[in-house]
Chain A
Amino acid sequence: MTAAPQPNDNTEQADVYFNVAEQTFVADVSGALWWPETETLIVADLHLEKGSAYARRGAFLPPYDSRTTLRRLEATMQRRAPKRMILLGDSFHDLDAMHRLPKAEREHVCRLQAQCAWIWITGNHDPAISERLGGDVCEDYAEAGLTLRHEPGPLETTGEIAGHLHPAARIVRHGRSLRRKCFIANDTRVVIPAFGAYTGGLNVCDEAFTKIFLTPGTQNGPRVWMVGENGVYSVAAKDLRGD
């Protein structure tokens, strides 16, 4: 067995920039999307209280997923200091999740909301957001030639930011397979990874992605950035593997 020593190299990777519909974005290492020009932080698919949804069926996953997700969100907000947060839907795992959210976590959401403007976009898991939670609620949101929505629309678009699909990519390197969440984007669309602590991922080689992007590696095909522990890394289309 061979192993390289693990470099104790926690230096921050330089930010990864890309353009969608002529706007510049940063793929944040947390899996959030940072929109510098409007100082907006965009996250998708928090799936809060997914743990307790499973517990109802007798699978007692650790009841700390909402806490973890919100702490990670807070850490990202501290780093980026956004003026506005936009949540791209499926923020809650189901309609009842808002009521199951423990008191401490509810208060945590309030504290985060107090820091900046807050927009909930609804998703298929959370088609309605309780008014008691505060923040604006909408199905989609348009700005600067871009539409922000939960589920990506058809192939043809002039500018879109979406979540829903939980993109993940897999590469093989030195006889080892590595699967991580990822950003996938072309000039007119970006789909961002799921942010929640218990959210899995769908491989970008899946048909769900080729339907809305062309095949990676072809002309105008999408580019992919994988989210690592300490940085976000662009990956060549030829290195992508299906599951």
Chain B
Amino acid sequence: MIRIFSILAGLFFTAALLWSFGNGAYSAITDPAAVTAEEMFHKHPKQLALASDGAFGNFDHRQLQRGFQVYQEVCSACHALSQVSYRDLKQLGYNDDEVKAIAAKAQVPAYNAKTGEVKSHKGLATDHFPPVVYGGQGTPPDLSLVTKARHGGGAYVYSLLTGYQNQPAELLKHFPDAKVPDGLHYNPYFVNLNIAMPPPLTGDGQVTYGDGTKASVDQMAKDVSAFLVWTAEPSLAKQHQTGWPVLGFLLFATVLAYMAYRNIWADKKH
């Protein structure tokens, strides 16, 4: 009895699926989905090699400091870094005094419960990076986690920063209506090709690196990408440093346990 019900239920589900399949196939033939401009022109991130890559990756502190400088002087005009606190910067190799000095340059808003006012105070090492007020077009995302929040991670940020170009004539040939809207900028690494952010890194020497590295656009883009990999995962190096001994121990323990197993089962055919 149960098998009759079962077969009836099976026919019900399979018939409904065939119905959907047939309809879907019919419309796929008669009305095939048109290729979109995004599908044709969107590009995957370029290659970017960072010191933090791979299972032995560690942060290059000098590069992180350069990237931090690019963030401070360029990105921070529009993008917040709310998950990061100034004291975290010690991990980049700054000492206490340098961290305090960096924090003191910022104005951090705080609510005063006695007066009811929101007043800014000079940043302290314990403060997080303050929120950024932005009134222009688009919504600049918080950058704290951006390299974990996009496919491609640091390579995506690097590609985006160096990927601005004129809209290809071929695109307009295929999609005459797809002209870049006013105020947006063509960038094939951005998800829908048109990004509100104007090219932030415009020319060599936009920042002056303290360590003498030449500040080319490519170099600045690499450095700030490396910095944002750090802001998203400050414990990355520690993960790698902890991971190897853990795996080493587990390998040893596994081999030992395997030998114990072989020993115990030695006389037992199975």
A binds B: no
Residue positions of B touching A, CB distance < 8 A:
none
Residue positions of A touching B, CB distance < 8 A:
none
